[in-house]
Amino acid sequence: MQDVFNIKEHITTVFVFSVFLVSLLTEGYVYGIITTVVSVLFINYTFTYPYFDFDFSVPANILSAVVMLIISLLTSSFTTKLKKWQALKAEGEKEKMRANLLRAVSHDLRTPLTTIYGASSTIIDN
């Protein structure tokens, strides 16, 4: 894959993008965290020296894994908060539209009732 696509330098970008997509398309933190752990293991196995072997004894591999875990956890929490904020915003818009509709219906009912009341008062007075 490194030879075919030449993505050796960009693997962390692909990693962050994949974690972001999984976090965005799923609910909660669980899938983002699972994707993070699996991706860190996959990247260590596939893209770090020694290739096709798990090696967390090299300080660079440990640091890389920790940084990727932190980035993906932050991304997962950010997307979860973003979804909650969007849901609250949609709920607020829905409530605002409901209030506007109620106000319009109320006004449309009051106008004919006022006319009827005025005409009735005139008839009673005469």
Read off the pTM: 0.56
* DSSP states of 41-79: HHHHHHHSSSTTS----SHHHHHHHHHHHHHHHHHHHHH
pLDDT digits (tens, 9 = 90+) for 73-104: 788 788 888 888 999 999 999 999 999 998 88
pLDDT digits (tens, 9 = 90+) for 8-52: 666 777 777 887 788 778 877 778 778 878 888 887 788 777 778
**CA dihedral sign, ordered 20, 25, 30, 34:** negative
Place of tokens 């509709």: 101
The residue type found at 36 is T
